[in-house]
Amino acid sequence: MSGAFGPLAMAPSHIAVGVMQAFADEERDDVLAYIERRIGNAAKIAANNAADAETREFANDRRRQFEVLRDEIAAGMHVGTATIEQQRGRM
């Protein structure tokens, strides 16, 4: 029997926490890969001499923003943000 909330509800808590951490790690890795792809796309546009200067500058700024976001997520700075936002009534 898996219980009302599936098999994790019946698992010992240390196993459930480990499984949830694995899911969180996979999700973080997916987000980091997505951001890395966006960084690459922005870098290609910034290096494209056929694009006008304003477009290249915008793409370069966007690349830097994604790099900061990537580094913050990789460092774990996002952990707990949803809980804080819920407590503030923003989510």
Are the C-beta atoms of 59 and 51 separated by less than 8 Å?
yes
The rounded Cα 66 to chain-centroid distance in angstroms is 11
User: Residues 6 or more apart from 79 whose CB is under 8 A from it?
Assistant: none
> Is 0.85 surpassed by the pTM of this model?
no
- Give the pLDDT of residue 10: 52
Which tens digit of pLDDT belongs to each residue from 8-59? 455 555 566 667 777 788 888 999 999 999 999 999 999 999 999 999 999 9
pLDDT at position 3 over 50: no
Are the C-beta atoms of 55 and 45 separated by less than 8 Å?
yes
Instruction: End-to-end CA distance of the chain: give it in Å, rounded.
Output: 34
